[in-house]
Amino acid sequence: MDSVLSFFKSALTIMVPVFFAAAGGLFPALAGCLNIALEGLLLIGAFSSLAVFYFSGSAAAAVLAAIIAAMAVSFLHAFAAFRLRVNLFISGLAINLFSSGLCIILSDKLFSTKGVITVSGSPSLLKWYVIFGLFLLVIAWFSLYKTPFGYRLRACDKNADALVSLGIKPQFYQIRAILISGFFCGIGGSFLSLNLGAYVPGMSAGKGWIALAVIFLGLRKPFGLLAAAIVFALADSSSNYIQGILQIPADFVLAIPYICTLIAIIVVSMLNKGR
């Protein structure tokens, strides 16, 4: 029984940051401006939250700092893409690189190290992150499908001309969609560091890229991406247990969750094409 509970706790721990990043990335994906900077936003959120918790000891202040920092970087991304006319994907890649370098510089200035930063007394917040995440998911569904904001945001993808004819600027909603992705990624990033009680350079470890796959695996639906995030988390958690049971190369075991995600995307795409 304990091993089963440990397995599901491990899966939830893996799921939370991927879910928050995917939930945030859903908004720009529906607005026709896919945000590939989720990886960098998670990293900024992770570093900001741990730095604030280190000096304040307040988990609430740490999460708030992560949200503000990730939204600030998201604003920089949106400004470059929509005001300076930088290619959206080039800007997203630049944000990923910028975030990694910025965290190293700040770590060196604040903590005199470019490596691991640890804190003591980090709270166990997994349950609260899961509850808050489900609450935000319901809010996201309602705002996307039951409000004028959601209708207009989704129209930016395929019916932008209709919005323009009504005197509505699609960029207004696309910029806000990217800011919302920063809000969600800030929360997801704060979980990475607060749950571990440490900041590790590059600790986002591809979760932002997996979140992009989760968005499309979930058919760009709020509850669909939740199911997709759970599938990935279960596959990833299973790989940790398989590694200790089966005598197969570790590299192959670590690739299992990504293989499962790839297979799931192919299957979903084939089903959609069939429809």
Q: Predicted confidence band at 245 (pLDDT cuts at 50, 70, 90)?
A: low
pLDDT of residue 139: 95
| Residue 151 pLDDT | 92
pLDDT of res. 44: 96
- DSSP at 62: H
Q: How confident is the model at residue 262 (pLDDT cuts 50, 70, 90)?
A: confident
| pLDDT tens by residue, 223-234 | 989 988 988 888
The whole-number pLDDT of residue 238 equals 76
Q: Residue 2 above 80 pLDDT?
A: no
**8 A C-beta contact, residue 193 and residue 43:** no
**Given a cut of 70, is residue 246 above it in pLDDT?**
no
Rounded to 10 degrees, what is the CA torsion of 236, 240, 246, 247?
A: 110
Each residue of 46-91: pLDDT tens digit?
A: 999 999 999 998 999 999 999 999 999 999 999 999 999 999 999 9
Please say if the pLDDT value at position 237 is more than 90. no
pLDDT at site 250 = 62
Scan for tokens 């207004």, then name that residue.
172
- 234 within 8 A of 155, measured Cβ to Cβ: no
Q: CATH number of the domain that 160 lies in?
A: 1.10.3470
pLDDT at 174: 94
Q: What is the pLDDT of residues 155-204, one digit of tens each?
A: 998 888 888 888 888 999 999 999 999 999 999 999 999 998 899 998 98
Asked if 208 contacts 186 with a C-beta cutoff of 8 angstroms, the reply is no
pLDDT in tens, 119-130: 887 778 889 999
Pairwise CA distance, residues 135 & 151, whole Å: 21
Mean pLDDT of 131-156: 94
Domain boundaries, position 191: 2-274
* Global pTM value: 0.90
Q: What is the pLDDT of residue 252?
A: 66
Place 148 in a pLDDT band, splitting at 50, 70 and 90: very high
Collapsing DSSP states into helix, strand and coil, what is residue 157? Answer: helix
